[in-house]
Amino acid sequence: MFFAQEAVQLEHPVHGPGFTANEIQELLSLLQSPSPTENSGSRGSNQAVYSIDERKRRRMVSNRESARRSRWRKKKHLEDLTQQLNRLKIQNRELQNRLGSIINQSHVLWRENSRLMSESVALKARLSDLRLVLAAMNAMRQAR
């Protein structure tokens, strides 16, 4: 065949949606197995049974790997959501602190505005009194 009959050893495990070491071994063994044209007679029926069992086994392995990847994606998604939750909690705390500070500034400004309004009313009353005194003084001058 095309490949030597030696086992392939991977130095690094395959992560993510790629093939596992077992799947690679299976693929290589399929490539190394005799082609259907090389089968003859009774060996063909044994090969068909073997192929069905082999397909079931490969499908089971594939399903397990798919489930593993699905669990990994779910775990990664949960980790991402947890990180996002922590970021949002920090952001929420910062916004609450800013809001508290703005509310405090607002109270200070309301008190200052209230004081200035009272002072304005008092000054207007004083100005009115001064105008009355001035008008009275002018009237007395004209009367003389």
Neighbours of 83 (CB within 10 A): 10
Per-residue pLDDT of the chain (144 residues), as tens digits, is: 444 444 445 454 545 556 777 777 776 776 665 555 544 455 555 566 668 888 899 999 999 999 999 999 999 999 999 999 999 999 999 999 999 999 999 999 999 999 999 999 999 999 999 999 999 999 999 987
The amino acid occupying position 7 is A
Residue 33 in tokens: 């197995």
Consecutive H or E run containing 10: none
> Among residues 78, 55, 77, 65, which one has the least CA distance to residue 17?
65
CA torsion, points 96, 100, 101, 106, in degrees to nearest 10?
A: 140
For 65, counting Cβ atoms within 10 Å of its Cβ (0-12 exposed, 13-18 middle, 19+ buried), the class is middle
Query: What pLDDT score does 4 carry?
Result: 46
Looking up tokens 């130095």 gives: 11
Query: What pLDDT score does 51 carry?
Result: 85
Contact 61, 23 (CB under 8 A): yes
Spell out the residues 6+ positions from residue 31 whose beta carbon is closer than 8 angstroms to its own. 1, 2, 3
Please state, in angstroms and rounded to a whole number, the distance separating the CA atoms of residues 55 and 61.
10
